[in-house]
Structure 1
Amino acid sequence: MNKLRALFAANKKLGSFRAEGNTIYLYDMIVDDEMEAEWFGGITPAGFISQLKAMNGDVAIRINSPGGSVFGAVAICQAMREYKGNITVHVDGYAASAASVIAVAAPKVVMAPGSFMMIHNCWTFAIGNANDLISMAGVLEKIDGSIADAYAAKSGKEAAEFRDLMAAETWFTAGESVAMGIADAIAEDKPKAAAQWDMSAYAAAPKLPDPSASDSDVQDEDTVSRRVRQHTARMLERAA
């Protein structure tokens, strides 16, 4: 099964999307349209844009998402750029894959302690002859380039640096996200997002801390960071 479809199937209708006051909760997968949302659940660009247009003033977008459609994410990002007020993204759990693209579109990104942001090369499913598949590979290269440009624009770093990190499927802890420039601050509060996504479609997904666990039960960020770096190094060695 295509990895994106596997992600959708594993997390079918586990999430939620809602707005309270001037806060939008993106606690679900990102999907393209209402047909996908009806089958898998998830957040559509149309649903997000409708909620955002109903708001005035500063807006908070809270994210705990395993990712999903990059084109859905791009449409959401454009709506965020066109919004007249200030937008702050709070990563409460995972901002993985397409959700990380949404996160870095905001002028300010705040990571919860224990949260993660993940970047990787995009996925798709293609059927056809050799020419069709070669053509699709070219499209994927262009999409990856545009995603890397988005991370570079947020961080001030070179897009090529992010292309290498995307190829390795890189999971950034809260502290690493700030150090890389794809986030701006770490929240003082502990993570509140309790949804435990099925992340088996990804190669190296770390688990979020359990909000109900005591401090002694939660791995410190240095330990998690070290394990993520070790896995990334192994992935790069295999690709070399």
Structure 2
Amino acid sequence: MKFNEIIARAFRAKDGQRAALKVRNAEEDGSVEVLLYDQIGFWGITAEEFKRELNAIDADTIHLRIDSPGGDVFMARAMKTALEQHKAKVIAHVDGLAASAASYIMLGADEIEVAKGAFIMIHNAWMITLGDTRDHAASAQMLDKIDGSIRADYAQKTGKPAEEFRQLMDDETWLDADEALEMGLIDRVYEKDGGAENRFDVSIFENAPDALTKPAEPEPDWAATIAAHQRRLEFFERCAP
């Protein structure tokens, strides 16, 4: 099995369906909404697809809505660059999850807000290498360079030294909205309607919070409960002397 197939299976939406990239008019003011509600890469939303759709947008404001477990690091870099180079003001909204590569795609926006109950996750880049010691050493050097560039992105946003993010990335750190705000990774927290269940299987990560890994408690079936009580009442009525 190829590496991208492994990741695709790990990050697949729980219902097996892709949300894919969607672009739509958001408001009467002419702003445009872009939904990045999928994995990043050939098994989800590609950088080519993202840039093509983004370049076709002629608006003063773009609302980038994110719910993604991450994916291909280099595609994410290209997508972040496309956001930075677009003429529109970009406002990123993390509606559910901005994990791994998605956590620095959002940094391409001019403003970032995260919903109450949503999460951001930062960690070191991953790679699978086949070969001898020289091949693995070269991969380790490449990973170190990638991690350094990502730390620099987080540092630029927060104003903190890049080294402060080394341990956080080593530890695979999950941040709720308030923690991300306190760290300076985002600009504000917003209340969202509802509170949708996490759509992705994030068990591939080591420290995913229970809120994203444990199945939600099923809603009580009140109609069935009432019907059962009604049947029980009817039974007692028939049996009563």
**TM-score class normalised by the smaller sequence:** 0.7 to 0.9
Q: Give me the whole-angstrom Cα distance separating, in 2, the residues matched to 1:154 and 1:140.
A: 22
Is residue 127 of structure 1 aligned with residue 136 of structure 2? no
Q: Which residue of 2 aligns with 1:24?
A: 34
- The answer (yes or no) to whether the contact 2:99–2:120 under 8 Å persists in 1 is yes
Q: Which residue of 1 aligns with 2:92?
A: 89
Q: Which residue of 2 aligns with 1:47?
A: 49
- Secondary structure of 2:163's counterpart equals helix
- Per-residue CA distance 1:121-172 (angstroms, 9 max, x = gap): 0001111111111111001000000000001111111110111100000000
Opposite residue 49 of structure 1, the aligned amino acid is K
- Secondary structure of 1:162's counterpart equals helix
Which runs of structure 1 show a deviation greater than 2 angstroms over 4 or more consecutive aligned residues? 1-7, 10-15, 188-195, 207-210
TM-score, normalised by the number of residues in structure 2:
0.79
Q: Give me the whole-angstrom Cα distance separating, in 1, the residues matched to 2:79 and 2:170.
A: 24
Q: Which residue of 1 aligns with 2:7?
A: 7
Using the TM superposition, give the Cα deviation of residue 188 of structure 1 relative to its aligned residue in structure 2, in angstroms: 2.5
- The answer (yes or no) to whether the contact 2:151–2:163 under 8 Å persists in 1 is yes
Alignment of 1:129-144 (within 5 A): 129-144=132-147
Q: Give me the whole-angstrom Cα distance separating, in 2, the residues matched to 1:87 and 1:191.
A: 24
- The answer (yes or no) to whether the contact 1:2–1:125 under 8 Å persists in 2 is no
Using the TM superposition, give the Cα deviation of residue 15 of structure 1 relative to its aligned residue in structure 2, in angstroms: 3.0
Measured at CA, do residues 181 and 3 of structure 1 come closer, stay the same or move farther in structure 2, by a change above 3 Å? farther
TM-score, normalised by the number of residues in structure 1:
0.79
For structure 2, list consecutive stretches of 5 or more residues without a partner in the other structure: 26-31, 220-241
Q: Residue 168 of structure 2 is aligned with which of 148, 165, 168? A: 165
- Secondary structure of 1:15's counterpart equals coil
Q: Give me the whole-angstrom Cα distance separating, in 1, the residues matched to 2:197 and 2:204.
A: 20
Q: Give me the whole-angstrom Cα distance separating, in 2, the residues matched to 1:148 and 1:106.
A: 17
- Per-residue CA distance 1:177-218 (angstroms, 9 max, x = gap): 0011111101132465445210011001123496x98xxxxx
User: Which of the pair has more CA radius of gyration?
Assistant: 2
Using the TM superposition, give the Cα deviation of residue 11 of structure 1 relative to its aligned residue in structure 2, in angstroms: 3.4
Measured at CA, do residues 195 and 173 of structure 1 come closer, stay the same or move farther in structure 2, by a change above 3 Å? closer
Opposite residue 22 of structure 2, the aligned amino acid is R
- Secondary structure of 2:22's counterpart equals strand
- Secondary structure of 2:180's counterpart equals helix
Is residue 205 of structure 1 aligned with residue 208 of structure 2? yes
Opposite residue 18 of structure 1, the aligned amino acid is K
Measured at CA, do residues 58 and 68 of structure 1 come closer, stay the same or move farther in structure 2, by a change above 3 Å? same
Moved more, 188-197 or 132-141: 188-197
Q: Residue 187 of structure 1 is aligned with which of 178, 187, 190? A: 190
Alignment of 1:62-101 (within 5 A): 62-101=65-104
- Secondary structure of 1:165's counterpart equals helix
For structure 1, list consecutive stretches of 5 or more residues without a partner in the other structure: 214-240
- The answer (yes or no) to whether the contact 2:117–2:195 under 8 Å persists in 1 is no
- Secondary structure of 1:196's counterpart equals coil
* Percent identity over paired residues: 40
Using the TM superposition, give the Cα deviation of residue 104 of structure 1 relative to its aligned residue in structure 2, in angstroms: 1.8
